Amino acid sequence: MKKESQTKMQPETETRRKTNVSTEKETQTDYRKLEKALRVKGNVLHVLIYLLLAFWALIVLFPFYWMVLTSVKSYSSYNGEYVPSFFTLSPTLQNYADAFTSVSLGQYLINTLIFTVITTALMLAVIVLAAFAFARLEFKGKNFAFTLFLSLMMIPTELVVITNFTTITNLGWRNTFIGLILPSVTSVFYIYLLRENFAQIPDELYYAAKVDGTPDLRYLRKVMIPICRPTLITIVILKVIECWNSYVWPRLITDDPDYYLVSNGIQEIRENGFGRENIPAMMAAVVVISIPLILLFLIFRRKIMEGVARGGTKG
């Protein structure tokens, strides 16, 4: 009986094993099909994303391409085009030579460089000390003072322009670098951003430094500034861009071309330089002015992203 039952069970076991193997193969086949379908779907999605990014990049970069293209066209070639062309067969650099010889573009660049370097250096000193005081020092009314300080961000810049203009004029600082620089040596937003970074540094480091007798300024210089270097680099780059593109305040406080910056120097070039019709020469001047900021961003773009990401991270 046992042999007969074993003989009967063997075909059943073999059949069951074959059924399991067949089921596993079907399952593996289904997984492969699903994996292949997901891979194809992912590739199609990536292609669509890259096409969209390429299209958007084309829209963003086209104005700059058109500016550069126009700057290398001669005046006669540009005016002779009834239909704008997207390329030129006879490029010229004469417009760039005119930008430095026909107008004071070199002087505008030097003025802007002086204004940018001094303003950024003074602002960096002010915001570092202010952010350190709000983040690490303890004094009566600190939270209320910081809240009141943040409320200044709600006031539009245009509302204080007239006050600043009256103050600078009464002090006799019109058409001077002091008048240009002084209203721009602080920023509530940068103080807030840096204060949040300083607040992320563990308190234990500060207490250990105080036990060792380290002064506050030395702790700031040796510990806090190196840790928050990415954010400081970001602030410096953003401030440089802000100073380089500054237009309203320099236009108000200066009417002497010897103190013009590149932003309002462009207006002077347009009115008293090349003339309103010489668009290629105007574009050449704009390209020269734009190149420093473009190079600055391309070189430090990783630092900018790193600093902004660090500023938005808590803990």
Q: Work out the pLDDT band at 17, boundaries 50, 70, 90.
A: low
pLDDT in tens, 224-246: 888 888 888 888 988 998 899 88
| Residue 122 clears pLDDT 90, i.e. is over it | yes
- Full-model pTM: 0.76
Can you give the three-state secondary structure of the chain, one letter per residue?
CHHHHHHHHHHHHHHHHHHHHHHHHHHHHHHHHHHHHHHHHHHHHHHHHHHHHHHHHHHHHHHHHHHHHHHCCCHHHHHCCCCCCCCCCCCCCHHHHHHHHCCCHHHHHHHHHHHHHHHHHHHHHHHHHHHHHHHCCCCCCHHHHHHHHHHHHHCCCHHHHHHHHHHHHHCCCCCCHHHHHHHHCCCHHHHHHHHHHHHCCCHHHHHHHHHCCCCHHHHHHHHHHHHCHHHHHHHHHHHHHHHHCCCHHHHHHCCCHHHCCHHHHHHHHHHHHCCCCCHHHHHHHHHHHHHHHHHHHHHHHHHHHHHHHHHCCCC
| Residue 16 clears pLDDT 80, i.e. is over it | no
The pLDDT value recorded for residue 116 is 93
Average pLDDT score over residue span 244-256 = 86
Average pLDDT score over residue span 59-80 = 84
| Residue 212 clears pLDDT 60, i.e. is over it | yes
Q: Work out the pLDDT band at 181, boundaries 50, 70, 90.
A: very high
Q: Work out the pLDDT band at 282, boundaries 50, 70, 90.
A: confident
